[in-house]
């Protein structure tokens, strides 16, 4: 991990105009930076604007105030430095696995031999080689999500924006996919911003966890995860300090055994 | 369902279908006689077959069938192309759809076959008014299906493409167009059968060619077997058109799970 900053939000505020002409502030004055090779998780209550931040980072939304930077360049719109992956795999049913992986690089008009080479390498790394000619409907949910990850990596982005990528798959598959993601991020030295509701996922996959408040979302806490083996979240689960981190996050989110479910968050 | 039991189901279903056909044909041949129904109301199968052979020789049945088929094909293809074109255009331009939707709705509610006399007034006793009715009647199901398909593409898919810096043309050709294929073919299936309706109504209203003309001719002569033969020929023409659409659909939508593509 170097000190180069890959992704940065500077005082970002996002307001949406609602039907009644009133504006709704989704996020307010958010500033943070993600360094090269770092994996940062963003947690917070539903509707606190986590996904809005991700859309701003990928250039799909322009912030109302403040700015986002990727690789030191101000984000003015969609750009080749970032790629995102959602809970939905968004695979195109009329394309084979290999063609789906090549979707992004095809749009970026990268020459076909290079596209094929990248797709083949990624499919091999993710254990999908035997399925390259299959169609999405022939795959399980976990495999489809793996294809989506390969498609995201194929464009070779500096920063991966991951929005609850594994929340739709079953618990066992999720652990396997988390490990694969962690290994891939480590191997490729990628920088990632991960949005999740799963506190354990946040702790086991990240170098740092940022906690957001209820709407309008602000960063209310930052937790550095000092655990070894970021590329092996399953091993990390057994670490003694994991519970301590999770408890702290629960505390910051206002989820406690004695408090009401809708406990207030600072 | 496993492959084996599926095959068994198909075999049993086919056997039942064939048995039903035999029962139906037998009932047609001997039923009217047993019930004392005169042959000018329901002519038995053998009489219809004899009339079929007579019409082949005397009434140029194949010529009229050919005319009707050509009109159906022309009307279907042109109507589908126009429907698809407008469907994509309106699908991509919410403003245009908003502005045009009351007129489209009015045209859609108006019974298209009612335009047949008007078109014949305009174009005379030629094949063109028949093709025009078919175009009009095929246009709507195709357009509406394509429009809905383009409009209901998952916005996250569009955002995914946009995040990869896709141009508007790339979004259309790589997402919207292929995503519209299943609904387009559903529209084409409906259109293929409606095209026959449009053409026949046009032929019934005026002209001296086509199966619709033979229908009116048979009616005028109180020749019930002739009407039966013509109805059967129209069903064959419509059936072939429908089958052709399904064959193309199976090639285009080869990526779909097999079950979702059951032919009929």
Share of chain A above pLDDT 70, in %: 95
CA distance A128 to B132: 52
Whether the pLDDT of residue B158 is over 60: the answer is: yes
Same domain membership, residue B104 and residue B7? no
Quick one: pLDDT at residue A266? Answer: 40
Same domain membership, residue B90 and residue B28? no
Confidence tier at B192 by pLDDT (50, 70, 90): very high
Contact between chains at B162 and A78 (C-beta distance less than 8 A): yes
Confidence tier at A167 by pLDDT (50, 70, 90): confident
Segment A154-165 mean pLDDT: 91
Same domain membership, residue B125 and residue B9? no
- Mean of the per-residue pLDDT values for chain B? 90
Backbone angles phi, psi at B204, to 5 degrees: -65, -35
The distance of A157 to chain B (nearest Cα, Å) reads: 10
Same domain membership, residue B84 and residue B51? yes
The distance of B141 to chain A (nearest Cα, Å) reads: 23
Give, in order, the Cα–Cα distances in Å from B99 to each of A111, A187, B108, B143, B147. 42, 54, 15, 16, 14
Same domain membership, residue B86 and residue B149? yes
Confidence tier at A264 by pLDDT (50, 70, 90): very low
Same domain membership, residue B188 and residue B210? yes
Same domain membership, residue B114 and residue B13? no
Q: Of A43, A68, A29, A145, which Cα lies nearest the Cα of A60?
A: A68
- Mean of the per-residue pLDDT values for chain A? 87
Domains with residue ranges and CATH for chain A: 1-81+159-166+190-266 (3.40.50.300), 85-156 (no CATH)
Q: Is A69 on the interface with B (CB under 8 A)?
A: no
Same domain membership, residue B66 and residue B11? no
Same domain membership, residue B161 and residue B242? yes
CA torsion sign, B49 to B52 to B56 to B62? Answer: negative
Quick one: pLDDT at residue B112? Answer: 87
CATH code of residue B178? 1.10.3720.10
Whether the pLDDT of residue A198 is over 50: the answer is: yes
Same domain membership, residue B210 and residue B257? yes
CA distance B83 to B135: 9
CA distance A51 to A60: 11
Whether the pLDDT of residue B42 is over 80: the answer is: yes
CA distance B74 to B86: 18
* Test mutation, B163, B177, B256, chain A, max A CBs within 10 A: B163
How many domains, chain B? Answer: 2
Domain that holds residue B23: 1-37
Whether the pLDDT of residue A38 is over 90: the answer is: yes
B81 versus A84: the higher-pLDDT residue is B81
Same domain membership, residue B158 and residue B64? yes
User: Which of A86-90, A154-158, A202-206, B82-86 is predicted most confidently?
Assistant: B82-86
Scan residues 73-102 of A and list those with Cβ closer than 8 Å to B: 78-80, 82-84, 86, 88, 90, 92-96
Same domain membership, residue B120 and residue B25? no
Quick one: pLDDT at residue B259? Answer: 54
Whether the pLDDT of residue A222 is over 70: the answer is: yes
């Amino acid at each position: 991990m170097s000190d180069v900053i890959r992704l940065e939000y500077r005082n970002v505020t996002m307001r949406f105009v609602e039907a009644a002409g009133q504006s709704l502030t989704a996020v307010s004055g958010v500033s943070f930076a993600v360094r090269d090779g770092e994996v940062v998780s963003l947690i917070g209550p539903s509707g606190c604007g986590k996904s809005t931040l991700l859309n701003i980072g990928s250039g799909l939304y322009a912030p109302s105030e403040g700015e986002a930077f990727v690789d030191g360049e101000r984000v003015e719109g969609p750009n080749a430095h970032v790629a995102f992956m959602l809970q939905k795999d968004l695979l195109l049913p009329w394309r084979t696995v290999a063609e789906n992986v090549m979707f992004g690089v095809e749009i970026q008009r990268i020459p076909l031999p290079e596209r094929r080479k990248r797709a083949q390498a990624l499919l091999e790394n993710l254990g999908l080689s035997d399925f390259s000619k299959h169609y999405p409907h022939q795959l399980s949910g976990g495999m489809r999500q793996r294809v989506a990850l390969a498609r995201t990596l194929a464009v070779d982005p500096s920063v991966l924006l991951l929005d609850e990528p594994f929340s739709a798959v079953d618990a066992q598959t999720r652990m396997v996919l988390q490990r694969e993601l962690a290994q891939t991020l480590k191997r490729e030295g990628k920088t990632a911003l991960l949005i999740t509701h799963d506190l354990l996922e946040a702790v086991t996959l990240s170098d740092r966890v940022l906690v957001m408040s209820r709407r309008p979302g602000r960063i209310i806490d930052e937790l550095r995860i000092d655990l070894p083996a970021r590329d092996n979240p399953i091993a990390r689960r057994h670490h003694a300090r994991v519970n301590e981190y999770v408890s702290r996050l629960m505390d910051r989110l206002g989820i406690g055994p004695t408090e009401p479910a809708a406990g207030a968050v600072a | 369902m496993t492959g084996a039991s599926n095959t068994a189901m198909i075999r049993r279903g086919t056997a039942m279908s064939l048995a039903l056909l035999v029962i139906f044909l037998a009932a047609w041949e001997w039923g009217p006689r047993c019930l004392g129904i005169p042959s000018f109301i329901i002519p038995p199968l053998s009489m219809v077959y004899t009339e079929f052979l007579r019409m082949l020789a005397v009434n140029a049945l194949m010529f009229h069938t050919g005319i009707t088929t050509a009109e159906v094909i022309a009307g279907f293809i042109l109507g589908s192309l126009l429907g698809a074109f407008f469907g994509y255009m309106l699908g991509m331009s919410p403003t245009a759809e908003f502005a045009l939707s009351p007129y489209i709705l009015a045209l859609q509610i108006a019974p298209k076959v009612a335009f047949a006399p008007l078109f014949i007034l305009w174009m005379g006793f030629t094949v063109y008014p028949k093709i025009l009715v078919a175009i009009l009647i095929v246009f709507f199901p195709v357009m509406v299906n394509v429009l809905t398909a383009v409009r209901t593409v998952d916005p996250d898919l569009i955002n995914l493409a946009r995040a990869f810096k896709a141009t508007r043309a790339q979004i259309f050709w790589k997402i919207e167009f292929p995503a519209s294929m299943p609904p387009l073919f559903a529209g084409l299936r409906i259109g293929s059968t409606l095209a026959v309706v449009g053409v026949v109504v046009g032929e019934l209203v005026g002209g001296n060619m086509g199966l619709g003309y033979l229908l009116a001719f048979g009616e005028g002569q109180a020749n019930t077997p002739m009407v039966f033969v013509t109805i059967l020929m129209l069903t064959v023409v419509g059936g072939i058109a429908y089958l052709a659409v399904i064959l193309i659909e199976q090639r285009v939508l080869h990526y779909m799970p097999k079950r979702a593509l059951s032919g009929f």
